[in-house]
Chains A and B, each alone.
Chain A
Amino acid sequence: MAPWLIVVTAGGYLGLLFAVAWWGDRRAERGRSLVANPWVYALSLAVYCTAWTFYGSVGRAATDGVGFLPIYLGPTLTAALSLLVLRKIVRISKRERITSIADFVASRYGKSRALGALVTVIAVLGVVPYIALQLKAVAVSFLLMLDGPSASGLATAGDSAAFVRTSLGVTAVMALFAILFGTRHLDLTERHEGLVLAVAFESVVKLVAFLAVGVWVTYSLFAGPSDLFARAEAVPDLARLMRFEGSWGTWSWMVVVSMLAILFLPRQFQVAVVENVDEAHLERAAWLFPLYLLVINLFVLPIAFAGSLRFGTGSVDADTFVLSLPLAEGQEALALLVFLGGLSAATGMVIVECVALSTMVSNDLVLPLILRQTLDRRDPDVGRLLLTVRRVSILVILGLGQLYLLATALEASLVSVGLISFAAVAQLAPAILGGLYWRGATRRGALVALIAGVVVWGYTLPLPTLSTTGWVSASWVDAGPFGVGWLRPTALFGLDALDPIAHSMFWSLLVNVGCFIAVSSRGGRSALEVRQARRFVDVFRQTGPGDDTALRLWRADTPVDTVRSLLERFLGVERTQTALAAHCAQRKIEPGSMRYADEELIEFAERLLAGTTGAASAHVALASVATREPVSVHEVVHLLDETSRVLATSRELEDKSRQLEDASARLREANKQLRALDRLKDDFLATMAHELRTPLTSIRSFTEILHDNPDLSLEERQRFLSIVLKENERLTRLIGQILDLAKIEAGESAATRGAVDLVELVHEAVDSIARLVEERGVSVALRVDDETPILWLDRDRILQVLLNLLSNALKWSDGWIGVDLSLEPDGHVLVAVADDGPGIAEDDRPRVFEKFRQVDGSAPGTGLGLPICRGIVESHGGTIWIETSERGGARVTFRLPLDDLSSDPAGLATADPTADPTADPPADPTATFEGPSHG
C-alpha cells in the first residue's frame, strides 16, 4: 500500500481523536458533560484492551487455543466484586482527592512520600515492557501495511534498519501525541474529560474493526464457523487447540494476575477511579465492561484458525494474522480499518498510561524532591514547573519503552511481554487491598512488602528476558547465578513445574504478602497513619471527611493569608479564591472573619492541593506553613477508638430506645383495655347490687309491716306474704341467672352436649308456654322445617334460650307470636322468634345483649335473659341478633352451625336426645322463664 495513504489515514485519525477530545472538553466547560454517562465510563474502561488484545490474542490462540482467555475472564470475575471493592476505592479517592494509584497508596499509609515514590518506580518499571509492546505492534502493523505480509515476519524485523526507524518514528509520534493530549491544560486538575471521551471513542473503533475482520474471515473467507472449525479439525495441530491442553496452574495464575491487573494497572486506576464522574456509573459498567470483553473476543479463535489454515504454521507471525489476512486477500479497505483499530488500541493505552504515569512521576517522585527548594525560593508558578516535569516524564517513559523494545521484546510474543507488566502491578495488591480492609496495615509493612515483591518479580521475570541482550549472562539464567542451581531465576528453589509467569507470581506474591503481614503486625504507626487508616477502611461509615475532627493534627496558629498564598502558588489566584469562598459558604462563616486557619480549613486546603500535587506533597507543603500538633499515636488511637465506641454505643442506644417505645405503646394499649374492663366490672357490680337490693328492700319493708302490726287482717297479711314470697322468688331467680352467666362466660365444657332433635325441642318449648299463651289469648304461628337434622347441642341450654325468647315475645306481644325453624343452604340452622309488639329501635338493638341493659327501665325482668342467650348461642359457635318482624314487632333470631354434628366424638347422632345424665346439670332451664305472671 502506498506509504502516503497510510500516513495520511493515521494522521487524519489522530486528528479526529484530537477533535473528539476538544469537543469533550468544550462540553465539560459549558457544564453539559458528555463523560457524565455510564456508557462512556464503561467504554473508557475498555482501554484495558490494547494492541495486546487486538493483535496478541490471536497470536496466543494460534499456539495455545483458549490460553488467551484468562486475561479477560479475570477482569470479568473482578467485575462481580467491583461494586464492593472498586466502589470503596472510588469513594475514598473522591473524598481524599486522589490523583493516581501511587497517591492512593501514599495517602493510605500516612501520606508517605517514600511509598508514593516506590509505587511510582514500580509502576514505571513495570509498565515499560507493556508500552514497548504497543510500540512494537504499531511499528509492525505499519511495516505490514507498507510491504504486505511476508515470511520475514517479526523475528528478523528487529535486525532490519526499517524496523528500528519505524519504531523510533512511532515512538516520537506517540510521545508528541501523549504530551499534547495529557498535558494540554495549564490547570492541573486531576480529571481530563476530553481524554476520557477520546478513549471511549477509540474503544468503539477497535471493537468495530475487530468485529469487521472477524465477520469477514468467518463468513466471507469461510462459509461460517462450522465450515471453519471443520476444516481446522482436519489439521491435527489445530484440532489439538480445541481442547484444554495447557496446565491448570498456569491458567489459574493468569486469571489471578489479570484479576489484579484490571484494578491496579495505572491506566485502569486513572479511568476507573480518577476520571470517574459518578459512583453510580459503576453499576452499569460492572456488566457492560465484561460484555465488551466478551464481544471483542468472539472472533479471536476463528481468526487464529483461519490464519493458521491460510498461511500454515510458522510462515507468518501469528500475532499479525488480524492484519495479514485481509492484506493477503487484497482487502485493502478492511486492512486499513484494522490498522486504525490497532492504532486505536495502542494509542489509547499509551496516552492514558502516560497521563497516569507522568502524574505519578511529577507528584510522587519529583515534586517531593524539589518541593522544599521551590517553597524556599518563593517560586511564584509551581504549576508550570509541574507541567514541564510531566512532559519530560512522558518522554522518558516512552524512551524507556523504546529502549526495552529494541533491546529485548523483538522475539517474545506480545502476550508474554504484557504479562510481565501485569505481574509487576499485581505486587501492589497486598498493600492496596490490605490497606482497604485492614486497619492494622502499616506503612513499614507496605514498604517492605512492595520492595520484596518487586525484587522477586524483577529477578524471576524481566531479568531472564534481558539475557538475550547480553546484559545478563545466559549461564546465570540457565545454571543459576555463580552456578547455584536453586537460585535459577526461572526455577527458584528448583520449582520448575510452572511457566515463568505462574512461577514469578507464586514466589513474588508469597514473599509480598508474607512481609506485609509480618511487618505490619509489629505495629509502629504514626498518628497520621492511624487516622488515614480509619478514613480508608471505614469510608462507608463516615458521612464526610470532617468526621474525625475531634482529632487535632494542626495547631490553629497559622494566618489564613499564609494558607491562601500557598494555595495561590499552586492553583492560581482565581481557583484559590473560588475554592475558599465555597468552603466558607459551606461552613456558613464570613470569609474575612477568620484570621487564623483552623483544623478544618487546613484539612480543606490540603485536600484541595492534593488534587494537584498528590497527598504526600500536599501534606509537606502545608507542613511548611502550619505547625503540627505534637500528638502521639496513643492519643490518636484512643481518640478514634473513643469516637467509634461512642458511635456504636449511640447506635445501640437508639435501637434500645426504639424497642422501649414500642413496648410502652403496647403497654399503654393493654392498660387502656384493662381500665375499660375494670369499669365494666364496676358497672356490673353496681347494677347487680342495685338489682339485688330492690327485692330485698321490698321483702324487708313488708316483713316489718307484718312484724309491727300484729292486728292486720288475715287477708292483708296473706297479700303481703305473697308479695314477700314473690320477691323472694325473684331474688332466687336473679342469683341463679348470675351464676348461669358466670358459668357460661367461664366456658362450659362440651361434655354436656348430646345429639338433639331441634324440631322436637322447639315443639317442647312452645308446648311449655301453651297455658300462658292461652291465658293471654295469643296465637302462635309455628313454621318448622322437618328436614332439620340432628344437632350436637347442649339440650337444656338451647331450651333455655328458646323459652327465654318465647317469654319475651309473649311479654310484648299484642296477640301474635311467630316461631320459625329453617335451614340455610350454607350449613346453618336458623331459629327465629317474632312478635307484633312495639319492637326495639335500631339503635338499641346491640345494647339489649349487654348485662342489665333493659331498653325500657319499666319493663319487668332482670336484664340478664338476653345476655345469657347470647352466651349460650356463642358457646355453640352461633350468632344471635334482633331485627324487625313482619308485623312490626321484634324478631330475635339465632343461627347455629349444622356441622356441629361432625364434631360428635362418639358418633352419637342417634343417641338419646336428652342431655347426658353424667354432665353437670345446668341451672333450672326455666329459671329465665319470665312470664308476665312474674312481672
Chain B
Amino acid sequence: MAREPLLAPRLVLLFLVGCLLFGYPLMELFSGSGTLAGIPVFYVYLFVAWAAFIAVLAWLASGRGRRR
C-alpha cells in the first residue's frame, strides 16, 4: 500500500463504479425488453459490465495500471 500510493484510491474508485454499475438506478436503464444477438439486453448488460469490471481490476492488480 505504501509502495503504491495511487493504487488504493484507484481500487476504491473501481469499487464505487462497480456499486454504480450493479445497482439501482443504472441497472434499471437496461432492464427493459429487447434482445441483442438473440440474448436479452438486460443479460448482455450484466455480463458485459461484469467482464469489463474484472478486466479493469486485472489491469490494476497486475501492476500495469500502477505505473504512470
Which A residues fall within an 8 A CB radius of B? Answer: 66, 69-70, 73, 76-77, 79-81, 83-84, 87, 224-227, 229-230, 233, 239, 242-244, 248, 251-252, 255, 283-284, 286-287, 290-291, 294, 298, 301, 540-541
Contacts and interface: CB of A to CB of B under 8 A. Distances in A.
Contacts of A225: 38-39
B62 A283 contact: yes
A251 B47 contact: no
Nearest to B35: A229
A81 to B, nearest CB: 5
Contact of B47 (A84, A229, A298): A298
Contact of B40 (A77, A229, A255, A540): A229
Given A77-B18, A81-B11, A244-B28, 19 more contacts: A73-B50, A76-B54, A79-B57, A80-B18, A81-B12, A226-B39, A227-B38, A229-B35, A229-B40, A243-B32, A244-B42, A248-B23, A287-B61, A291-B58, A294-B47, A294-B51, A540-B1, A540-B2, A541-B2
Contacts of B15: 77, 80-81
Given A229-B40, A230-B38, A77 B51 contact: no
A291 B62 contact: no
Given A66-B42, A66-B46, A294-B50, A80 B1 contact: no
B19 interface: yes
A229 B8 CA distance: 41
4 tightest A-B CB contacts, nearest first: A226-B38, A287-B58, A244-B31, A248-B24
Interface in B6-53: 7-8, 11-12, 14-15, 18-19, 22-24, 27-28, 31-33, 35, 37-40, 42-43, 46-47, 50-51, 53
A79 B43 CA distance: 22
B51 A255 contact: no
B5 interface: no
Contacts of B43: 66, 242, 301
A366 to B, nearest CB: 37
Contacts of A283: 61-63
A257 to B, nearest CB: 14
Contacts of A284: 61-62
Nearest to A289: B54
B45 to A, nearest CB: 10
A184 to B, nearest CB: 35
Contacts of B12: 80-81, 84
A229 B1 contact: no
A290 B35 contact: no
Nearest to A287: B58
B54 A290 contact: yes
B57 A243 contact: no
Nearest to B30: A244
Contacts of A298: 47
Nearest to B14: A80
Contacts of A230: 35, 38
B23 A252 contact: yes
Contacts of A540: 1-2
Nearest to B53: A76
A57 B8 CA distance: 33
B52 to A, nearest CB: 11
A301 B44 CA distance: 12
A786 B16 CA distance: 75
Contacts of B55: 287
Contacts of B7: 83
Taking each of A224, A251, A284, A290, which has the highest tally of chain B beta carbons within 10 Å of its own beta carbon? Answer: A290
Contact of A69 (B11, B38, B46): B46
Nearest to A73: B22
A242 B33 contact: yes
Contacts of A287: 54-55, 57-58, 61-62
A290 B61 CA distance: 13
B31 to A, nearest CB: 4
29 contacts: A73-B22, A76-B54, A77-B19, A80-B11, A80-B12, A80-B14, A80-B15, A80-B57, A81-B11, A81-B15, A83-B11, A84-B11, A225-B39, A226-B35, A226-B39, A227-B38, A229-B38, A229-B40, A242-B40, A243-B33, A244-B42, A252-B23, A252-B24, A286-B58, A286-B61, A287-B57, A287-B61, A291-B54, A291-B58
A327 B6 CA distance: 53
B57 A290 contact: yes
B42 to A, nearest CB: 6
A878 B51 CA distance: 64
Taking each of B11, B62, B63, which has the highest tally of chain A beta carbons within 10 Å of its own beta carbon? Answer: B11
A258 B60 CA distance: 23
Contacts of B58: 286-287, 291
Contacts of B27: 244
A437 B35 CA distance: 46
A475 B46 CA distance: 42
Contacts of A81: 11-12, 15
Nearest to A79: B57
A331 B31 CA distance: 36
A504 to B, nearest CB: 20
Taking each of A73, A84, A283, which has the highest tally of chain B beta carbons within 10 Å of its own beta carbon? Answer: A73
B11 A255 contact: no
Nearest to A290: B54
A228 to B, nearest CB: 8
Given A251-B24, A283-B61, A284-B61, A76 B37 contact: no
Contacts of B28: 244, 248
Nearest to A247: B24
A227 B11 CA distance: 39
Nearest to B34: A242
Contact of A224 (B22, B38, B42): B38
A255 B53 contact: no
Taking each of A69, A83, A233, A248, which has the highest tally of chain B beta carbons within 10 Å of its own beta carbon? Answer: A83
A66 B30 CA distance: 13
Nearest to B27: A244
B54 A294 contact: yes
A87 B54 contact: no
A239 B50 CA distance: 23
Nearest to A239: B33
Contacts of B14: 80
A77 B22 contact: yes
Taking each of B43, B46, B54, B58, which has the highest tally of chain A beta carbons within 10 Å of its own beta carbon? Answer: B54
A81 B11 CA distance: 6
A87 B4 CA distance: 14
A69 B32 CA distance: 18
A87 B51 CA distance: 23
Contacts of A80: 11-12, 14-15, 18, 53, 57
A66 B31 CA distance: 11
B32 to A, nearest CB: 7
A84 B8 contact: yes
A349 B4 CA distance: 35
Contacts of B57: 79-80, 286-287, 290
A290 B47 CA distance: 12
Contacts of B22: 70, 73, 77, 255
Nearest to B13: A80
Nearest to A88: B1
A627 B11 CA distance: 46
Contacts of A301: 43
Contacts of A226: 35, 37-39
A255 B42 contact: no
Contacts of B2: 540-541
B51 to A, nearest CB: 6
Contacts of B63: 283
Contacts of A244: 27-28, 31, 42
Contacts of B54: 76, 287, 290-291, 294
Contacts of B37: 226
A815 to B, nearest CB: 70
Contacts of B51: 294
A73 B46 CA distance: 10
A235 to B, nearest CB: 14
B39 A84 contact: no
